[in-house]
């Protein structure tokens, strides 16, 4: 039933694409660039964040005032603050779209689990970064977030108290909180880029930027929103009294809404289950092509005699599954005699797509169960018919 649901979701995703492609030229379809859009928003976040960082003061007395100073005194400070705020939401939307699209279209199969696992971690860290960012403003919402997070962490059996003091810097709210949050916000943003390296490392030519139309559209929408719905702080935090109401940002603070109906322990259990399941997704369904009902052509094989070491397959393999090694001996054909390099297929990374076969002009690569000869026989048969 589960796999039938996924098949249905795949079908809906692709039908949506057909609809979008009727409106937009197909290489402008924004859903083909969810990863690039995420990267665009991350870049905007970093640039606007550097600006905000220059003015921010991480102490109880000055944090709120410094944010107000940015908003009201610094020229265009409110615009930059709004850009930071709205591009964070857009970032979350984009990575969730990226997540669901790649899930529904099966783009985590075989050797593609590494982008998936690193992507899950990117998702978790992005949510965490959003929460720490909301704390930095140090208004009533920040105070409530700190209190709710602390209470939730304290509910973990065994290590709860320790976790809470790790989060807050001490057992109660102390002056260490805001410097700690500032570091977690800015320092973990660096970790985001390390995870992005992991996200890209097994991928050749990642699409890291959306088409110009969507770059301009996204930036324009963010700026327009900033002008129309200016970002403002809640009333300042008062350590003596914890406020009762939470102004919700639905993209980052959804778990905190859940806290109003679920007990902290249930929420934590739910989060752990969702996270573990997300990490387990690529390994869940049967992994063999036969079980998936797709063609099983076998791992690409290099024909030693024909390989000229030209590196074309190495450049085109989408998963970096081909490496060029110094050739131990010359090839047999004339073109291969003077080769210095020999292509080698790393079997664990090969997804049997055959793109290297199309790349090779020297007939030096074959899919074992779909040889060039087989294709040519089919072509000849088709021409006879």
Partner 1 sequence: MPGVDRPASAPAGTGTAPAAPAGRPPRIVGFLCDFAVDVSAFTAANGTLRDLPHVTLIKVPCSGFVRPAWLEFALRNGAEGAFVCGCPLGDCFNRLGNNLIGDRVVQLRRRFERQRIHPDRIAAIYYGLHDHEGFLGAVRAFSDRVAALPGPVVPAPRAAAARPAAAAAPARPAAPPGAASPSASPSAGSRAESGPGERADGAAPEEEP
Partner 2 sequence: MNTSPASDREARYGTGIMVLALVSLAAVLAIAWGEVAGHRLVAGGAVGVILLAYSFILLFLRKGGFTGV
200 makes contact with partner 2 (CB under 8 A) = no
**Partner whose binding site includes residue 254, from partner 1, partner 2, none (CB under 5 to 8 Å by kind):** none
x/- mask, partner 1, residues 288-327, rule CB under 8 A, reads ------xx-x------------------x-x---------
- Least separation, in Å, of the C-beta of 75 and partner 2? 7
305 makes contact, choosing from partner 1, partner 2, none, with CB < 5 to 8 Å by partner type, with none
Binder among 172, 179, 187, 230 for partner 2 (CB under 8 A): 230
- Nearest approach in angstroms of CB 294 to partner 1 is 7
Question: Restricting to residues 154-193, which ones interact with partner 2 according to CB under 8 A?
Answer: none
Question: Which residue among 55, 215, 354, 371 contacts partner 1 (CB under 8 A)?
Answer: 354
Nearer to partner 2, 77 or 119 (CB): 77
Binds 366: which of partner 2, partner 1, none (CB < 5-8 Å by kind): none
Among 12, 53, 76, 315, binds partner 2 (CB under 8 A): 76
Write b or e for each residue in 295-327: b if 16 or more Cβ atoms lie within 10 A of its Cβ, otherwise e. eebbebbbbeebbbbbebbbeebebebbebeeb
Is 359 a binding residue for partner 1 by CB under 8 A? The answer is yes
> Binding partner of residue 383 among partner 1, partner 2, none, CB under 5 to 8 Å per kind?
partner 1
Nearer to partner 1, 32 or 134 (CB): 32
Binding at 130: pick from partner 1, partner 2, none (beta carbon under 5-8 Å per type): none
Least gap, CB of 302 to partner 1 (angstroms): 15
Binder of partner 2 out of 13, 17, 21, 28 (CB under 8 A): 28
- The whole-angstrom separation of Cα 13 and Cα 375 is 32
Stretch that binds partner 2, among 160-168, 188-196, 215-223, 287-295 (CB under 8 A): 215-223
212 forms part of the interface with partner 1 (CB under 8 A)? no
Contacts with partner 1, residue ranges (CB under 8 A): 11, 14-15, 17-18, 21-22, 25-27, 29, 32-33, 105-107, 203-205, 207, 294-295, 297, 316, 318, 351-355, 357-361, 367, 370, 372, 375-376, 378-380, 382-385
């Amino acid at each position: 039933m589960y796999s039938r649901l996924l098949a249905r979701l795949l079908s809906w995703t692709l039908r949506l694409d057909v609809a979008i492609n009727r409106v937009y030229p197909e290489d402008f379809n924004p859903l083909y660039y969810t990863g690039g859009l995420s990267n665009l928003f991350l870049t905007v976040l970093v640039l606007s964040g550097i600006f905000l960082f220059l003015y921010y003061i991480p102490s109880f007395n000055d944090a709120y005032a410094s944010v107000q100073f940015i908003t009201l005194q610094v020229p265009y400070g409110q615009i930059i603050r709004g850009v930071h705020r709205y591009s964070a939401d857009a970032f979350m939307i984009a990575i969730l779209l990226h997540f669901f699209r790649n899930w529904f279209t099966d783009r985590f199969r075989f050797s593609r689990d590494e982008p998936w696992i690193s992507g899950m971690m990117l998702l978790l860290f992005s949510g965490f970064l959003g929460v720490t960012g909301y704390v930095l403003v140090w208004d009533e919402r920040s105070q409530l977030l700190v209190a709710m997070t602390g209470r939730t962490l304290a509910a973990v059996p065994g290590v709860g108290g320790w976790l809470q003091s790790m989060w807050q810097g001490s057992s109660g709210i102390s002056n260490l909180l805001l410097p700690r949050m500032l570091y977690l916000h800015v320092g973990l943003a660096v970790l985001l880029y390390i995870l992005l390296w992991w996200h890209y490392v097994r991928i050749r030519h990642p699409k890291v930027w959306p088409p110009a139309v969507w770059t301009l559209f996204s930036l324009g929408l963010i700026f327009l929103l900033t002008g129309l719905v200016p970002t403002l702080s809640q009333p300042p935090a008062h350590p003596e009294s914890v406020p009762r109401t939470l102004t919700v940002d639905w993209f980052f603070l959804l778990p905190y809404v859940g806290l109003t109906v679920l007990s902290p322990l249930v929420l934590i259990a739910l989060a752990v289950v969702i996270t573990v399941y997300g990490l387990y997704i690529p390994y869940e369904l049967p992994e063999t092509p036969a079980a998936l009902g797709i063609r099983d052509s076998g791992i690409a094989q290099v024909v030693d005699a024909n390989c000229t070491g030209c590196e074309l397959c190495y450049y085109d393999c989408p998963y970096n599954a081909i490496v060029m090694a110094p050739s131990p001996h010359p090839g047999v054909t004339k073109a291969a005699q003077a080769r210095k390099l020999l292509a080698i297929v790393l079997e664990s990374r090969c997804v049997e797509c055959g793109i290297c076969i199309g790349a090779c002009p020297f007939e030096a690569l074959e899919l074992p169960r779909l040889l060039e000869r087989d294709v040519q026989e089919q072509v000849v048969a088709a021409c006879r018919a």
